[in-house]
Amino acid sequence: MNLLDLKGKTAVVTGAAKGIGKATAALLEQAGATVARIDIEDAPGCIRADVADEAAVERAFAQAGGVDILVNNAGVAVRKTAFDISADEWDRVIDVNVRGSFLCARAAARSMKSRGGGAIVNLASIMGFSGGIFPNPAYQTSKGAVVNMTRALALEFAPLAIRVNAVAPTFVRTPLTAPLFSSPEILKKVMEHNPLGVLPETDDIAAAILFLASPAARCITGVTLPVDSGYLAR
């Protein structure tokens, strides 16, 4: 028996046009799931929706059909210090990363409830457990909220057989981190906080998401699994 088999399951992946979301959608498909992709960008194969927009989320989930698995991956960062970030920039980070994850979790859970269960995997971050190594307070705050929303929804949805977990990646090379990694000094500092000496690839994050979404994790709920090459072990 293959505990990672998702044959017959329908998954929704948000922010699936690129980066971790794109790799995850492909891996879930490889595991046998039918995958609906949501993105704010007009990308081929994606349902277009801003996850922070409640009406757009409801429309997108109606279009996706029944849901067994949700990967709450859409996320943004505004890397500015507390002194430099505007209130609107702060709000946008919290809106997409926290409100957006909540709205999608709720829409998915309504469908999962009628299907007898499901699995939700949120994208937290090592920044949800630490103050980070560069000032980025809106992002750090939003990911801390995702960690605790994961616990809260896990408890609320447990009687419905809906599991809610999260992954917490360290820095992964994607369009989100491209501006950081263009600087050799920043890359050097990132690697000083990477005991294994390996930056995860998008597929490494997708693998952890597949595990948490699959029957292999049937007794796991409310946890956030670091995929961090040892960052949080210090």
Ligand X SMILES: NC(=O)c1ccc[n+]([C@@H]2O[C@H](COP(=O)([O-])OP(=O)(O)OC[C@H]3O[C@@H](n4cnc5c(N)ncnc54)[C@H](O)[C@@H]3O)[C@@H](O)[C@H]2O)c1
Residues taking part in catalysis: 139
User: At 189, is the secondary structure helix, strand, or coil?
Assistant: helix
> Quick one: 5 or 53, whose CB is closer to ligand X?
53
Q: How far is CA 175 from CA 76, 77, 117, in A?
A: 11, 11, 34
Residues contacting ligand X: total by CB under 6 A: 28
Which distant-in-sequence residues (6+ apart) come within 8 Å of 48 by Cβ?
Answer: 38, 39, 40, 41, 42, 60
Q: Please choose, out of 5-13, 105-113, 173-181, 185-193, the segment that lies near ligand X by the rule CB under 6 A.
A: 173-181
Q: Please choose, out of 3-11, 38-46, 151-159, 213-221, the segment that lies near ligand X by the rule CB under 6 A.
A: 38-46
User: According to the binding rule CB under 6 A, does residue 17 interact with ligand X?
Assistant: yes
Considering only residues 12, 19, 69, 229, which one is a binding residue for ligand X as defined by CB under 6 A?
Answer: 19
CA proximity to 51, closest of 121, 41, 127, 141:
41
How many CB atoms neighbour CB 95 within 10 A?
Answer: 17
CB of 37 to ligand X, least distance (A): 9
Establish how many alpha carbons lie within 13 A of residue 62's alpha carbon, considering only the half-sphere containing its beta carbon. 6
CA proximity to 158, closest of 209, 113, 106:
113
Q: Show the site string, 55-74: x = touches ligand X by CB under 6 A, - = not.
A: ------------------xx
Considering only residues 6, 13, 69, 76, which one is a binding residue for ligand X as defined by CB under 6 A?
Answer: 76
CB of 151 to ligand X, least distance (A): 18
> Quick one: 20 or 107, whose CB is closer to ligand X?
20
Residues 93-152 within binding reach of ligand X (CB under 6 A) = 96, 100, 123, 125
> Quick one: 18 or 151, whose CB is closer to ligand X?
18
Query: What six digits make up the tokens of 105?
Result: 């979790």
CB of 7 to ligand X, least distance (A): 26
Which distant-in-sequence residues (6+ apart) come within 8 Å of 106 by Cβ?
Answer: none
DSSP 222: S
Binding residues for ligand X, per CB under 6 A?
A: 14-15, 17-21, 39-41, 50-52, 73-76, 96, 100, 123, 125, 169, 171-172, 174-177
